[in-house]
Each structure stands twice: as C-alpha cells, then as structure tokens.
Structure 1
Amino acid sequence: MTEFGDFISALGEFGLYQKLLVLFLSLPLLLNPFQMIGQVFMVVDVPHHCNTSWIRAIGPNLTEEEQLNLTLPRDAAGAYEQCSMYSPVAWDLSSIMAYGLNATEKCSSGWVYPSAQPPSLLTEFDLVCDRKDLNDISQSVYMVGLLLGAMIFGPLSDRIGRRPIFLISILLQGLFGVGVAFVPHFYVYMAFRCVVGASVSGILITVLALATEWVGVSSRPKAVLISHCFVAIGQMILAGLSYGIRNWRLLQIAGSAPMFALFFYIWVLPESARWLVTKGRIEEAKKVLQKAASINKRTIPPGLLEQLKPEKQIKSGSTLDLFRKKHLRKVTLVMSCAWFADSLVYYGLSLNVTSFGLDIYLTQLAFGAVELPARFCCIFLLQWFGRKKTQAVLLLLSGLMCLVITGIPEDQPVATTVLAIIGKFTATASFSTSYVYSAELFPTVVRQTGVGLCSMSARVAGIMAPLIRLLGQYHRAVPMAIFGSAPVVGGLLCVLLP
C-alpha cells in the first residue's frame, strides 16, 4: 500500500515546483497587513473643534479668532474644547460680546478640521468625540469577518477544493477592498471591511492547505515560515505606502487593487493533488503530479502511478473527540489559551502603533522589520530549546514587556517604543511557535479540528483586542495591563504541556 507521501518524495520534497508554488501563494500575503492594520493610518488624530458658523449670520465680519473666542469654551490648559460649544442664542452680536455665553452643549452641526489636511477616515466620517469609538469597533467588525471566513471557507475548501476557494477569496478581497474606497457611509465601510476580513481568512486557510499538501513533511515548517515572512515584508510596505499616500481613499485603492494583478493564477495555480485523490479524481491527480515532476526534472515511476488509488476517507475526529480523553483535553485547552494570548498581545501592539509617541510610520517600519528575525529565530529556538520551553518563555516575555510599558511615564516615548518592539518580536516568534507546536501535539485524525479550534480562539482574541483599547478612556494603562497579563497566564499554563 503506497502512501501519498511516497509520490511527494518521488517528485521531490521541496523542488523548483514547490518553491514556485509557495512564492505564488505568498504574494497575496504582502497585502494582508494592509487590510489588517492599514486603518490605523487612516484615522490619525488631527486638531478639531465644533462648527460654530451660526454666529456668522449675526456677525459676518468676525475674524476666525473672534468667532472661536465667542463660541467655544476653553479647557484647563487654555486650548479650545474639542467636543463642546456654547449653545447658540437668538441675541444680537453686541449682547453676546458684552455678556458672553454660558450654556454649553455637544457639537450639533459637525466639526471643523485643519483645511490643509488630506481627507482621512477620521475627518470624512467624523470619528471624533462621541463617534470616536467607532474606529475600534470597526476594527472588531473586520476581525469578526476573519472568524466568519474561517467558518465558511474552511469546510468549503474541503468540499469544492483549495484552488477555487483561493481564487474566489482573491477576487473578493480585490473587489471589496477597492469598494471600501468608494463608500458613502461609515456603516457601509464596516460591512465591506467585514467581507474583506472573510476573504483574507479564506486566503490564509487555503495557502496553509496547499503549501502543506504539496510540500514534503521535512520542509513544511520552512514553507509556512516563508509565507509568514511575506506578511512581515507586507508590514514594512504598509509603512511606506501610508507615509507616501495620506488621502485615505487613494491609500485604500493602492492597498487593494494589486490583488487584480494576480488573476493570471487561474492558469498557473494547481489544485492539491492530495485533495484530488481523496475525492477520487485519480486521472486529474496523475496529470498534476506528472506536471510537478517534470518541472522538478524528476520522473515518477509508472509503476508507482498505477498504485494511485482513492484514499479511504479517514473519518476526521469531531470537536467532542478533543475533550473525551484527559490528555487531549489538557492539550486542547492549554493550546487554545496560548493562541488566544498570542493573538491578543500581537494585535494589541499592532493596533496601538499610533499611541507610543514616536513617528508612527517609523514605528510601523520597525514593527514589520522585527518580524523577519522573529520568524527566523523561531526555527533555531525550537531546535535548541525544544517546543515547550520556547513557547512558555516567549509568551512570558511578550506579556512582561506590555506590563512594563504600563509603568513608563508618557514623556518617555523612546523607552515605550523600544519595549513595544521587543514585545512585538516575542509575540511574533511565539505565534510561529504555536503554529508548529500545535500541529505536532494533535494526533492526525483530529489535527485539522484541533488547529481549527485554536485559531478560532485566536480570532476571538482578535475581535476583543480593539474593544479592549476602548478601556483606555478610563485609564491609559488599562489596555496594556490586559494585553500583558493574558500572555503571562498563557505562558505559565504552557508548563502543563508535554
């Protein structure tokens, strides 16, 4: 009885064919960080104040300075209040000047922003004052999209194939990503972002499936890490893009339209031969395998090809199977916690890039640059110290960095940023470790289910991260304290793992 792995060995574990495949699969991942954290650069804070043009009706000749003086209260520092104004009254100008106004109210007729600024999400949809929270909420909506995508496209890619789902996801991300740039309303923006999130999820799932099913076992971690490196390069590209293009609609198009350049994939992207075999489409599988072998300059012995039979569908375990045995239950719960903590601290730091006090574009560049060595170090750390120690120590470190940040005064932006970058490094390495570790911990029958469950918990953390940032309005240290304590708990739980 021949295993499918024998065919992969015959055509080369990681030959030219697989290298090209991994390259093609990784290209769309360059745009992944843009969808993930690009919004942070579209809502950069600008000074704003209430629109008080009502007074122009009775005092058309007032200078701007006089108009603001009469209609806006000042805060403790002597600057104009950003979110309140004096209530309009039906007096003439001389009375207002003589007596002044007392009663204040929230901005009722919109806001005024510096006219020199190119349009940003913040100024166009007024994401200030009472509507400020919509920014973080819309990030959560995007993360909900990621979760939905995993639930929809995961089972679909097992049913109708990896290739169609990959192509559909690319098309969706291109269409809706560009569509976002033309939305008239913020709620439409959120809905479109949700679809983009689902398509990003579809791409991630199929990339993982195609890469692991075409590449020999020994080279799999390499293939996965290469694709992760593309995400890191994408983060650096994001810093450059958002620095160069300040108009949010143009930035959105620049970050989404390149997807359409990939439509030639329809002709070059192969279906997973292993999937074809499990579905009993043997002739197609033979063709794909022979093509792969010819590109790798190998030949599959004809005798071996004859033995290609439909694999008996191994009934994959259900989620319940993960909780039946004591050992598996422990692994599942601890690994889910580890993924949850990884994701929480990773997104917590990534989405916070504008609040560390240094230039946001440089910080983003550093955040991206630090991911490359983090992914590479991960390979060596795993070999030297083993999976368990690496996972536990990295989680603890990333949590500690966040906790230390909470204690640093606001006038030390360099210290905060350096700690955040170290935190990002350890969080990234920890995420990569979890990927490798969990794939090894779960038995084959329930592997897909187990890793699926873990990534679900990571998605839930992703949905929570932007919402936790909202707690910053009570005290600026609260969000960081939460982002820091979760990984510390997760790291301590890792001690229970085999």
Structure 2
Amino acid sequence: MAFESLLNQVGVLGRFQIFQMALLGLSCLIIYPHIILENFTAAVPDHRCRVQLLDNATLSINDTEVFSQDDLLKIFIPQDSNLMPEKCRRFVHPQWQLLHLSERLSSMTEPDTEPCMDGWVYDQKTYPSTIVTKWDLVCESQSLKSVNNFLFMIGMLIGGIILGYLTDRFGRKLVFRWCVLLLAIAETSAAFVPTFPLYCTLRFLAGCFTSSILTNSTMLIMEWVVPPFQALGIVITASCSCISLMILGGIAFAIRDWFILQLVYSVPLFFIFLSSRWLAESARWLIIKNKLEEGLKELKKVAHANGIKNAGDILTMEVVRTNMQEDIEAVKMKVSMFHLFRTPTMRKRTFLLCFIRATASGVLGITGNIGGALGALLMVLRIYSHHLPWILYGVIPILCIPVVFFLPETRNQPLPDSIQNVENQGYSNLDGPKDTGMEIDTLSSFVSHAKRNLRIFGFPVDHHKQN
C-alpha cells in the first residue's frame, strides 16, 4: 500500500486527476442511462385489437354519417370494468345490438370473444413508436419485455465476472476502451435490427459491456488519487450517474421516437471511445503486475501534466522498486476469485458487501446484478398486486442497513493492493487507528500543488517567508 507515497510525488489532485475525473464523469453521463433506457424505448402505449372493418384504411364507414367511432368500438371491441375498450380481446362477431342498450335483456349471454388475431392498434399521441409497438410486446407477449430487461441484467452479471477478470489481466484502460467501442456498436445496431430475438441479444451484450465500463471508470479514478480524495472520486461518478438520469428524462420528453432516442445515446459512445485514448492506465496496476517501466512512464506523464518539475530526477526505477517491493512480492502468488473467501478478514468483508479491485468488484457486481435481474422479474408480481413489487423494493434495502455497521472505516485509508494487505490492515485496526503522518504529508502536498496550479492559470498567490 506504498503507492500513495508515489502519488504524493506526482501530484495528489492536479490537472491530470481533474481531467481524468472529468472525462470519466462525462462517460458516465452517456453510458449509465443505457441501463434504464428501455423505460422510454419500451414504453407501452394504450392499445386495442385491430379490426379489419374498423381500421382498414380503404374503408370509410364514417362516410355514411350513421355511426361514430365510439359506436363502432362498442360493436367490435368489448369494454372492461372502466368502460374502456379491452386491450387484448375482441368480439368474434360484430355486436350490433350493443348500440341499443335499452333493448338489451339482462339475461342475454355474454358475446363470444377471441384474442387479437390481426394485431393491435396503438395510441401514438404520447409515443409515436417504441419497441413494444414495433414487435407487438403486449397481451400474451407482454412478458417478453421483462425477459428482455432480465437478459440485460444477466449481461451485466456475466460481464462483471468475465470482464472483471480480463480487467485484472490486461489492464483497466484497455478493457474500458474496448468495452466502450463494443457498446457503441451493439447499441447502435439495436436501433436497426429487424427481429426481437436479435434485439435481445444485442441488449444482453450491452449489459456485459456497461457493467465493465462503470467498474473501470471508478477504478481509473480511485487508483490515481490519494485516500483523502477517493471519496471525491466516488461522489463524482455517482453524481454524474444521477445527473445523467435527470437529463435522460428531459431528452426522452423531447424525443418520443424510440429509434431516434436509441441513436442519441448510442452514437456519442464512438466519441467517448476516441477521447478515451487520452486516459492514463493505472500505474498502480502496472507496478503490481511487475510492469515497472510502463508504470514509471505513466507516473512521469502524470507528474508532467501536474506541473511537477524535475520529475525524472525524483521518479526513478529504484524509487519505484523500493516503495512497491513488498506489494509486488505479495501479489506474485496467483490468486483467483475464490481467494476472496479463503482468509478471515476478506471472507467477512466480501460476505458483508455482497449482502474497493476489479475481481472483487466483479464479485460484488454479481450479487448486485442478480438483484437487478430479479428486480426486472419482480414486476411480474403486479399480476397479483400492483403495490407488491414496490413494497419489496423498499423493504429489502431497509433490512440491509445493519450490515453497514460491521464494515471497516475506509476514510483516508490507503487502498490495499493484495489480500495480505487486507489481512494485515484488518488486524492492525484492532489496536485502533494509528497516526502515520500520512494525512499531514498529503495535506501539505495538496496545498503546494494547489498553489502551483493557481500560478499556472494566472491567479496571484501570496508567498510568506518562513523563519
């Protein structure tokens, strides 16, 4: 966990960190809405069965000026308990006698009805088109909409497992860039596919890539800042995600066509991919993976971006090796996801968090995405009670609150780089917090770099001589 001392030498919160946060925050603004995009692209408008005699454009019954549209609906479409046209059934034969309700006998048997054999007619006042109207995902096929949402969340689950491993194997930046590109291709293609199964396949892949992008965005921020500013990084990504949802609501209000809305949030992903080349790979990951030269190169780039002079003299291979030797040795042993459960402290934390690297985030993502997938299926419970899914959504988080009290405090604590770090940190915490002087050094370094950045941007900075 000595990487923080290297960060202090290249700048704790300089221009580089601000640029990295801004770019990744912008990525979240575009990418996060893809999780709930189908709240609008898959909206269900009012609908009823199509009737050839009533809806055929070549016929014009109203030209006789005998029957109104409402009269014709009574003849062909049964009414529900609210005296509105049924959404999923129609009369087998026209019921002309229903126009004369006063003459209808109370003992008359109910007319025979049948499912919508010729498709549906949709109200286009609010939504000109959605994937529901494109593929008729209503009535007997309404569950397919929930299945599609379920597949997206399963994609996030599988993506958290596979791409989490690939992130630890090949690097955060590489996996991030490829996932952004593949997400752009998948979501743009989803706007043009001719069949619903192919659309579901692309949404499943989009879920895989979305999960990895959001995880790597957080890590590329967290692994380039010192502990006092890690919470700031989390707040930025979380705030950008929340802001993106508010923006989505406004854009979806202005753009009602699902095809255009899908492209509005898919095409900008190509620009995010092109701009991501300016991101820096995590030097922490490079050094832990024993890629010391590449890690040193990234550190020097960051020092130069932050205005640190003589970075080449300060940062040498020997300095990096000396600072990180213990952590490098600690991670030489090959570990898998199952090592998160082998040692006592890791097992405790993992279990609690399931009820900050990529493999661990992948495991936590598994439980979160399982919940997300089940959440989509919970909406089926509306068949029994309209309020039941919402009650479950509110009660379950409340029941999980006590778990937080068993987790360790992470405020101003360095990120562990290995399981051994976690175990040592866990046992040392039993003796209470220790003052290592890190916070004082970090604050002093931050003030120094802040003054330097102010001078760079032309702001006057008072200098006081020290005795």
What interval of TM-score do these two structures reach, taking the shorter chain for normalisation?
0.7 to 0.9
Q: Which among 306, 318, 322 is matched to residue 317 of structure 2?
A: 306
User: For 1:55 and 1:100, how far apart are their aligned partners in 2?
Assistant: 24
1:86–1:101: 8 Å Cα contact kept in structure 2? no
Q: Which among 70, 77, 80 is matched to residue 75 of structure 1?
A: 80
The residue number in structure 2 matching 1:425 is none
The residue number in structure 2 matching 1:480 is 390
User: For 1:163 and 1:303, how far apart are their aligned partners in 2?
Assistant: 26
1:71–1:101: 8 Å Cα contact kept in structure 2? no
> For residues 337-356 of structure 1, what are the structure 2 equivalents within 5 Å?
337=355
Per the TM alignment, residue 54 of structure 1 is displaced from its structure 2 partner at its CA by 5.5
User: For 1:49 and 1:198, how far apart are their aligned partners in 2?
Assistant: 36
Q: Does 1:460 align with 2:370?
A: yes
1:7–1:300: 8 Å Cα contact kept in structure 2? no
Q: Which among 141, 149, 152 is matched to residue 142 of structure 1?
A: 152
> For residues 319-398 of structure 1, what are the structure 2 equivalents within 5 Å?
319-324=337-342, 329-337=347-355
> Residue 65 and residue 111 in structure 1: after superposition, are their counterparts in 2 closer, same or farther (change >3 A)?
same
Map Cα deviations across residues 444-473 of structure 1 (whole Å, 9 max, x no partner): xxx665544322211110111111011011
1:18–1:214: 8 Å Cα contact kept in structure 2? yes
1:51–1:112: 8 Å Cα contact kept in structure 2? yes
Per the TM alignment, residue 257 of structure 1 is displaced from its structure 2 partner at its CA by 0.9
The residue number in structure 2 matching 1:184 is 194
The residue number in structure 2 matching 1:411 is none
Q: TM-score, normalised by structure 1?
A: 0.70
1:70–1:100: 8 Å Cα contact kept in structure 2? no
Per the TM alignment, residue 183 of structure 1 is displaced from its structure 2 partner at its CA by 1.8
The residue number in structure 2 matching 1:230 is 240
The residue number in structure 2 matching 1:242 is 252
Q: Which among 86, 92, 108 is matched to residue 91 of structure 2?
A: 86
Per the TM alignment, residue 491 of structure 1 is displaced from its structure 2 partner at its CA by 2.0
SS in 1 for 2:167: helix
1:167–1:265: 8 Å Cα contact kept in structure 2? no
SS in 2 for 1:119: coil
SS in 1 for 2:164: helix
SS in 1 for 2:90: strand
1:163–1:271: 8 Å Cα contact kept in structure 2? yes
- What amino acid sits opposite 2:397 in the alignment? P
> Residue 288 and residue 321 in structure 1: after superposition, are their counterparts in 2 closer, same or farther (change >3 A)?
closer
User: For 1:103 and 1:94, how far apart are their aligned partners in 2?
Assistant: 14
- What amino acid sits opposite 1:193 in the alignment? R
SS in 2 for 1:214: coil
The residue number in structure 2 matching 1:213 is 223
Higher Rg: 2
Map Cα deviations across residues 18-67 of structure 1 (whole Å, 9 max, x no partner): 1111111221100233201121122334221111105789x955335454
Q: Which among 113, 116, 119 is matched to residue 104 of structure 1?
A: 113
Per the TM alignment, residue 128 of structure 1 is displaced from its structure 2 partner at its CA by 1.7
Q: Does 1:175 align with 2:185?
A: yes
- What amino acid sits opposite 1:268 in the alignment? W
The residue number in structure 1 matching 2:400 is 490
The residue number in structure 2 matching 1:261 is 271
User: For 1:285 and 1:325, how far apart are their aligned partners in 2?
Assistant: 29
Calculate percent identity across the aligned residue pairs.
28
- What amino acid sits opposite 1:81 in the alignment? E
SS in 2 for 1:49: strand
1:56–1:62: 8 Å Cα contact kept in structure 2? no
The residue number in structure 2 matching 1:278 is 288
The residue number in structure 2 matching 1:384 is none
Unaligned runs of 5+ in 1: 338-438, 440-446
Q: How big is the alpha-carbon RMSD for the aligned residues of Structure 1 and Structure 2?
A: 3.0
2:14–2:306: 8 Å Cα contact kept in structure 1? yes
Q: TM-score, normalised by structure 2?
A: 0.74
> Residue 304 and residue 468 in structure 1: after superposition, are their counterparts in 2 closer, same or farther (change >3 A)?
same
Structure scoring higher RCO (CA < 8 A, sep ≥ 6) equals 2
User: For 1:461 and 1:35, how far apart are their aligned partners in 2?
Assistant: 18
Per the TM alignment, residue 96 of structure 1 is displaced from its structure 2 partner at its CA by 11
2:187–2:202: 8 Å Cα contact kept in structure 1? yes
Map Cα deviations across residues 221-251 of structure 1 (whole Å, 9 max, x no partner): 1112112111112111101110110000000
Per the TM alignment, residue 325 of structure 1 is displaced from its structure 2 partner at its CA by 5.7
> For residues 95-134 of structure 1, what are the structure 2 equivalents within 5 Å?
102-114=111-123, 116=125, 117-134=127-144
2:153–2:373: 8 Å Cα contact kept in structure 1? yes
Q: Does 1:34 align with 2:33?
A: yes
User: For 1:115 and 1:157, how far apart are their aligned partners in 2?
Assistant: 45
Per the TM alignment, residue 146 of structure 1 is displaced from its structure 2 partner at its CA by 0.9
2:183–2:210: 8 Å Cα contact kept in structure 1? yes
Shifted more, 252-261 versus 200-209: the winner is 200-209
SS in 2 for 1:466: helix
Shifted more, 129-138 versus 98-107: the winner is 98-107
Map Cα deviations across residues 141-194 of structure 1 (whole Å, 9 max, x no partner): 111111111112111112122121111011011111111111212222211111
User: For 1:448 and 1:267, how far apart are their aligned partners in 2?
Assistant: 21
Unaligned runs of 5+ in 2: 63-68, 101-107, 409-467
